[in-house]
Every structure is written in C-alpha cells, then in structure tokens.
Amino acid sequence: MAALKTNKLFGGLLTSELEKLEQTCEIRRYRPGEVIFKEGDAGDGIYMVIVGAVQISAMVNPAERRVLSRIGANDFFGEMAVLDNEPRSASATAEADSHLYFIPRTEMLSMLERNPKLAVALVREFSQRMRDFNRQYIQEVLQAERLTIVGKFARSIVHDFKNPLNIIGMSAEIASLPDSSNESRQNAKARILRQVHRLTTMIAELLEFTRGSQSSVVLSPVDLSDYAGQLLEEIKGNLESKGAELEIQVPPPPVKVLMDSVRLAHVFHNLLNNAVDAMAGGGRIYVRFVPDGKAVRVEIEDTGPGIAPEIASRLFEAFATFGKPNGTGLGLSICKKIVEDHRGVIRATSQPGKGAVFTFTLPVAA
C-alpha cells in the first residue's frame, strides 16, 4: 500500500479507501520495450507506476511517431480513455523494467463517485498536464516558425541575388569575347563592379532588416536625369533577356534629388524585376518620372495580371507573397524602408487583369 500512499493521484485518500483500492488493483509487470496498450485499444482502466518508467507516444503522421511524455514512479497514466469512454488516443510502452498497478475502469469510476476529493485531484492533475502539453506545443510551434523564417530568408536571398549575378555573368561574357573592344570591356568591368557593390549593399540591407535597427541615412543631391538614365540602361539588358521591354514614357527631369544612390538602385532593380516576374509570358514595363511639387514621383507600370486581392493589403509586409514560388515579399518590405529613409512614400495600385503600378516619391534638393 506504500506505493498508493505516495502516488500523486491517490495519496490524499483515507487509509480505508486505499485498502479497498489495493484489493481491486492488479500488479502488472512489463519488460523494456514491451507495449502496455496501443492507440485505438479500449480504455479499460488506469495505470499507476510503482517502479520503472513508461513512454507515451502517438502517430503525428502516417510515417512519424512522436513521444508525448514520460511517466515515472508514483505517477499515473491512461486516465483520459477511462473518463471519456473512448479508445486510447496514444500508446504506452515500458522504457525500463516496470511494475504497474492496474485499476479497472468500473472501479475507477466508482471511486470517483464515492470520493469528490479524488475527482478534484484528477481534474487538477489533468489540467496541469494540459498546461504542460500546451507549453511544449507552443515551444514547438515557435521553433517551427523560426525555421520557416530562416527558410524564407534563404529563398529571398537566392531570389534577390539572381539579378545582379545574372548581370555579372552577362558582363563577364562580353568582356571575355575575343572581338570585344576595349570600351566594351571597360563598360563590362564597370557593370561588374557596380553589381558587386549592389550585392554588398543588399547583404547589408538584409542584416539591417534582421536586426531591426535603424541605420544612419546620408542623402546627397544627385542629378536624377544622369543617375536614372544610366541605371535604367544597365537594367534594360537584363529585362530584355527575360522577354520584357522597358519603355521610358516620361524621362527623368534634370533636377537634383536627395538620395543614397546605391540603396535607391535596389528599389529600381527590385520593382522592375518584380514586374518581369509578374509577366510570365513577357510584356512591357513603362517608367514615368513626374514632377510633383517638391518631389519627383516615379511610376513603374507593367502589363501583367495585376496584384492579387489576397495580398494587396499586405503587399509591403515582410514575407507577404502570393503565387510567386521563388519570392517571399521581403524585397518589397526592404524597398519600403529604403524609400521611407529617403523621406518618400511608396504605394501600389492595380486593377485585376490590367497590370500594376508601383509609385514612390523622391524629394528634390532645396
């Protein structure tokens, strides 16, 4: 009877109740690895561990069994199937040589009716187990979310790095052609250096995003006409290689705009390449530079299917994506941060089937 007195469920019973319980208990012995009951078995009784240890497990999918808990001496298990009269929801297996008390279901229910304190103890212990299970489940969900985020970052990095790497590859091919002129090789070299610089900046942006820190922003007045003209000419070849045509409907005005030229280039690259991705069969991209008071409004319009309604309200949120297997939405989130660091705003409009228009503003230098 000593084992019953120290059991966390039955320890509070009167000696007379424990004596009656001991008479109805059956001692069962199990070797390591021996199955006590399996999922789907009838809930015929409750078990108490005298000595040894028991593993509770369940199938979480057709190919994976997961350990849910381990039950040691002075503890009990198998109560759920007894109370709800349903088949066992998990399996129990001895982890070591184990001696168990077995109480039949009818006797257990009779004891609960006779002894309200026992019922309270059972409910309290069941509640604690559910809390522990919830805590473990939450930790597993958080860990799974962390792994998912790591995966999304990896996919985003691969996706965003493809474009500058493609430009570097094309430029390297041009520079290595036997009949390339010295000017062509110098231009190719300059493009490669710019893309290496761009990759370095993108890495810095990603690190900044993961830290959530606010970097110092230094904006300098730059002639928008020269800057945008050269940048778009550089991007144009990459877009054409993907079947898209770039048309500058309204050229950039010859005004000085406050910018970080390297970071701002990332916005143009990202928006233009996103437009190409949206036009699976090729299409046209229109770019307009519209003076707007003390700022210049940049409009990038594509002839794709437009922005899906499911994603429209979350377009600039981190990891928001729809129908794009190689992207995560992280690029647009970074674009938003860069534009806002330039004291501008960015937004997107769309009509289904008529393409999308991304617009952002840049302040004109005083």
- pLDDT tens readout for residues 274-318: 898 888 778 999 999 999 989 999 999 999 888 888 777 888 887
Question: Which residue from 71, 140, 72, 79 is spatially nearest to 111, judged by alpha carbons?
Answer: 79
Question: Which residue from 254, 10, 199, 230 is spatially nearest to 119, judged by alpha carbons?
Answer: 10
Query: pLDDT tens, 145-198?
Result: 666 666 666 666 676 777 788 889 888 888 888 888 888 888 888 888 878 877
Instruction: Characterize the bridge pairing of strands 35-37 and 64-71.
Output: unpaired
DSSP H/E element including 74: none
Question: Quick one: DSSP state of residue 364?
Answer: B
Which one of 25-39, 118-132, 208-222, 331-345 scores highest in mean pLDDT? 25-39
Query: pLDDT tens, 82-121?
Result: 778 889 989 999 999 999 999 898 888 888 888 778 878 7
Per-chain mean pLDDT for the chain: 83
Cβ atoms 99, 51 nearer than 8 A: yes
- Beta bridge pairs of residue 259: 220
Domains of the chain with CATH codes: 2-114 (2.60.120.10), 216-363 (3.30.565.10)
84 or 215: which leads in pLDDT: 84
DSSP H/E element including 220: strand 220-223
The dihedral sign for the CA sequence 129, 135, 141, 147: negative
Question: Which phi and psi angles does 18 have, rounded to 5°?
Answer: -65, -35
Question: Quick one: DSSP state of residue 77?
Answer: E
Confidence of residue 326 (pLDDT cuts 50, 70, 90): very low
Question: Quick one: DSSP state of residue 96?
Answer: S
Q: Determine the average pLDDT of the residues in 120-126.
A: 78
Half-sphere exposure of 4 (CA within 13 A, CB side): 21
pLDDT of residue 51: 94
| Cα 313 to Cα 216: distance, rounded to the nearest angstrom | 29
Q: What's the whole-model pTM score?
A: 0.51
